[in-house]
Structure 1
């Protein structure tokens, strides 16, 4: 990791550009003024000040600006100082026409480049203040005439300075365009990355949904499993309680399913399970929940369904399944159903009670000969007649 004092300082483009144009502009002006002053009897001090002002002064300002905590603000103040000293030199030399014009134009254009019309006004004010200062200190002089070679040099120098300033603006615009182009390409790449990320998130969401579905589904029949039932039954029962609606629960068992497996083989038994699952799914309402409860037992959760309607449905399903023939290879398989029903609120007010009472009703249906529908509220089986083993094995 590099230490901070080894890092290169940030360079402001205004400061750097102004330093270049100031060095060149001041050098040209120094040359023009020196030619103009030759043979006019100016003191050695004036010549020394000219050299310091137009050759050393730009470097001093650049050093001071680079040391400032706010380099751009310092540079704006230095531009006004440029105008002030230009005004002093113009007044001191008697306002020589083309050199005065050149100094006024260069500082006004530079100010306007960064601050608009307000900058040009600020430059004019600083020029005027500098001229007044020179008049107060050295008296008023007015000698605008200049030799034509010096005038030509002023025009060429002014042209060179303005071209330099325009070139600096051009280079800045090119860099700005390149930066904007990079930003545009970066933004486009970011949008593409975001779109790819959105697609990935969508795929992940779909995958999560599928995984949740797989976790809640029985792999053989595609019906919901017991895990899903545990959450759904409690939620639907609570909703029916709030709305004052009934809820019926059916436990459905395939009679003599072990015999089907033993006679036709387990693949045939699996196909019988799938056939029952298809029938239940086909006749289920949108709010009903069909589950494989375990082995050859299925459970139908029927919100907002009273007992009598549930009995009619169960009878219809029992009859349809019992009369259907399943073709499996060379086999023609028929099987019957036994159904036990418990209904909220008469047969229980909790999930556990409803399932237990539906199970008791199913036991009574199987105990009474199978292939029938029995409701808990009409059968009232006595716990004393229950066998020790599960009825599902019968």
Structure 2
């Protein structure tokens, strides 16, 4: 197939037309990121001067030999290598749950539940792991709209004792922080991964900490890294602009010395984005596989659920949160950051059972 793609246009590929099974369809389908999903076509988007000038569907078998398109397709289909985290392995060949454990007095959903009791908090984290969470994300500073910045020492005092207890129990732990000192303390306490909502931009030392530790890191798009969640100016084309930002940031972090195989990308649902922006990102999630790294989706109990369900308060957003998690799974997201672990794990088990049945061709 030939395609007149302008030399100065920037191309993007979004996997579409997912299929139940590749059986008997050699050459027709491609496998998404080495996981459990197969697709038969790409949506080709070309952007020139900030506007989409091409948007069309191309069967996988007919993808043009354009070097740029082939490179993106290779990143989309490449398997995501597992992470060896101490004695444990975190795999990315199927969607897994990251359980949220907030050590804060003011987080929008569960603030104050475990504050000042690290033993009880760690026990809650162990319970989440027993319920099926692949790792536990421990945070000590709220990013809700209007939340006050927490002094680094207080944040460390909140999370380090919990992380130490969880790590000793054999639980995989990520440190949800944007401060270099908190990252260092968390890693020293046994954290395996850094989850930074500012993509290592809020603290000038954060990137150096991750480079020295050579630990995995989640890079999230948050609009202005100095601001918290929600609101936002709105984007002309949120899907494309967030993709471009994440691609540029990943390249910067890799150039600085972080192994690309240790980077996870998060489009940052609810951070500096309007409702329309968030919906565009959720519907277009598969585009982000073109970054060539595992994807994390954090939509649990967020404002988008309330906005679409009669302003349901945060503690009444279970159904919407599970729906968004399954949307992520359907589009190949590897890590789903959730508050409601047992319900989300059960939903993913049903999802996996359906996928397994489909893949057998029976």
Q: Which has the higher helix share?
A: 1
Name which structure has the greater RCO, CA cutoff 8 Å, separation 6+: 2
Q: TM-score, normalised by structure 1?
A: 0.21
Larger radius of gyration: 1
TM-score when normalising by structure 2: 0.22
